[in-house]
Amino acid sequence: MPISLHHLRAGDRSRWAVCQDGRWTELDHTLADLLAWPSDRARAVVEAAARTARGAMPGGGTLPPVDRQEVWAAGVTYRRSRDGRKEESLHGSLYDHVYDSERPEIFLKASPWRVVGDRDAVGIRADSGWDVPEAEVGLVLNAAGEVFGYTLGNDMSSRSIEGENPLYLPQAKIYDRSCALGPAIVPSWAAGPGPFGIGLRVLRAGCEVYAASTSTSAMARDFEDLAGWLFRALTFPFGAILLTGTGLVPDAGFTVCPGDTVEITSPALGTLTNVVVAVGGGVRRSGRWPAPR
């Protein structure tokens, strides 16, 4: 990543820094500042910081690459996602309509304080028995709906809950630790327009139990179209993150378990790594949902 924007811990506060080829400099501005400005002003600030980058990475640890931004997500943007939704659901034809329609599926995924970052733990619901990570490219959108940058995202999902009834989607998708972003934001002018390769691996006791890869070239919709729909009747004065859907859905016999490690990689955007934990209460589901393997 030639230029990247990082959210860093600084005691009980946070700060933003730019990394240029392994050299670091802190910003005097937040991500909310950058995304509230016109794109040319934000780019000038980031590029000026990159030119003066000299030091090592500041200590204190990293945070998710958000501050005041909601995270939204689009669904059924890849054929494999459509097929996976049909596979889990008693209402399969619904997803053919979503995939083919002009209007995309878009839903609120997380408020900023619920987002976890690289090396933090992601969650599966304790009352679900069939759960998967969803590896996605996230659009970092400014207040005008323009693509300021990209990051990697993990849209953790309960297939058992959504499969039981599509109206349960908020419970299947929105809960503590259900959204991971990182490791950084790569500005759009540095990353280029894509397409972006994206890979997903799940490790269990150090052994690979799932691996697959795809490209955003397989999406049925483009980034600008999805961003345009998000901004049609919503304003985001401090910008927003929009996850663009997944083309990597494990087969029905697979579920992640507490203790697994999820790795999402992209040559252009880095690697996002998270360990899986169970969150919440209730009885773990069984029945028609597959046993872990």
Domain that residue 205 falls in? 70-279
Query: 282 falls in which pLDDT band (50, 70, 90)?
Result: confident
Q: Looking at residue 253, what is its pLDDT? A: 85
- Collapsing DSSP to helix, strand or coil, 99 comes out as helix
Q: Looking at residue 89, what is its pLDDT? A: 65
| Polymer length in residues for the chain | 293
Q: What is the pLDDT of residues 31-72, one digit of tens each?
A: 999 999 999 999 999 999 999 988 888 888 899 999 999 999
- Alpha-carbon distance of 243 to 223, in angstroms, equals 10
Q: Are residues 50 and 78 in the same domain?
A: no
Query: 98 falls in which pLDDT band (50, 70, 90)?
Result: confident
Label residue 74 left, alpha or beta by phi (over 0 means left) and psi (-120 to 50 means alpha): beta
- Strands 270-279, 121-125: pairing kind: parallel
Q: What is the pLDDT of residues 189-223, one digit of tens each?
A: 999 889 999 999 999 999 999 999 999 999 989 99
Residue 170's CB is within 10 A of a number of other CB atoms, namely 13
Q: Answer whether residue 47 is part of any domain.
A: yes
Q: Are residues 83 and 127 in the same domain?
A: yes
Q: Are residues 78 and 185 in the same domain?
A: yes
Residue where a domain terminates, one of 37, 63, 89? 63
Beta carbons of 223 and 231 less than 8 angstroms apart = no
The count of structural domains within the chain is: 2
Q: Are residues 81 and 40 in the same domain?
A: no
Tell me the whole-structure pTM to 2 decimals: 0.93
Residue where a domain terminates, one of 22, 39, 63? 63
- Collapsing DSSP to helix, strand or coil, 187 comes out as strand
Q: Looking at residue 118, what is its pLDDT? A: 97
pLDDT at 146 over 70: yes
Q: What is the pLDDT of residues 220-229, one digit of tens each?
A: 899 999 999 9
Name residue, tokens 């009834």.
165
